[in-house]
Amino acid sequence: MITVKQAQNADYWRELNPNLYISGQAGANDAILKACADKTANINPAESRKEDEAPDLFAGVSFSALSERFWDEGYFLLHDILPVTLLSGLRDAIERLVDAGLPPAMIYLYDEAWQVFAALRPLLTHFLGDRVALLPHFWAWHVDPRDQGRGWPPHRDYQGESAIGDDMLISLSLWVPLTEATPENGCMYVLPRSFERWYDFVVTKPQDIELQDVRALPASPGAVMGWRQDVYHWGSRASRHASSPRISLSLEFQNAAFDPLGDPLLDLEMPPSFRERLLLIARQFEKYRHMQKIDDDILAWSRAILSA
């Protein structure tokens, strides 16, 4: 494990992943916009776009149909939204982190990990309104089939109220695969709300669920998955016969018109500074140690970061 002094040096991280940016270096946002623009141009090359106009990644998406399914089942899965070229850089960076013995969540030191989600603002504002805030809750996974790794166990992201009725959302989780996510390497599973409504009790443990109600959600790079924070979901265990790891990112959001569900709320357009990111990442290890096994040396290192 690296020292606290090394971790506090942004140049250490830049040297580890020289193809990514850390706040303060010019050009990262231009790269994001270019990747998105190239993707939309490939989808509809006949459609012209002004240079200063943001690319529309959701040009072919029916938001009304998306909402109808979301409010019925509690989640959505959109395929082929984000540019794969952008995601491949993050995938390679997480592989380098893991090879260096570092947790995948350190990817949030880099601008691109935040900007992937910033590119999804039209989706976020559709569900959460114009006042979208980032919650200080995030994670990255590298589910390795070589040691039969697994995603997080069955849970709900938030135990309180995440929606008012069936038309006003308070908070939303987004999940982005950077590699193929399949039943073999640990894709996401959900209990759709349309099925859970049939139950005459609140599901609190996996044994409560009728197995036929479970839905697997395989997804490819470029996809975006989202769910209400009261949806019961989990990541499965990878088979040792899977051909590749499942690598993915997740971030949580809320409608800032409601009381904060986390502290501090963050600005989607202005991600945290390098030092703030380091502290936020260190807090995640303690916060999520009940969701997956985290090595004692990583916990000790993160506590040292926070105390320093």
Domain extents for the chain?
Answer: 4-307
CATH assignment, 4-307: 2.60.120.620
What pLDDT does 49 receive? 47
CB distance 251 to 277 below 8 Å: no
Q: What is the pLDDT of residues 98-153, one digit of tens each?
A: 999 999 999 999 999 999 999 999 999 999 999 999 999 999 999 999 998 999 99
Give the pLDDT confidence score for residue 308 in this predicted structure: 84
What confidence score (pLDDT) does residue 26 get?
Answer: 45
Torsion of CA 272, 74, 234, 288, to 10 degrees: 30
Among candidate residues 279, 276, 287, 284, the one with its CA nearest the CA of residue 304: 279
pTM of the model: 0.92
> What pLDDT, on a 0 to 100 scale, did the predictor assign at position 45?
53
Radius of gyration of the chain (CA): 19
pLDDT at 51: 45
What whole-number distance in Å separates Cα of residue 20 and Cα of residue 30?
12
Residue 303 φ/ψ, nearest 5 degrees: -65, -35
DSSP symbols for 79-121: -S-S-HHHHHHHHHHHHHHHHTT--GGGGGGSHHHHHHHHTTH
Stretches in the chain below the pLDDT threshold 70: 24-35, 37, 39-55
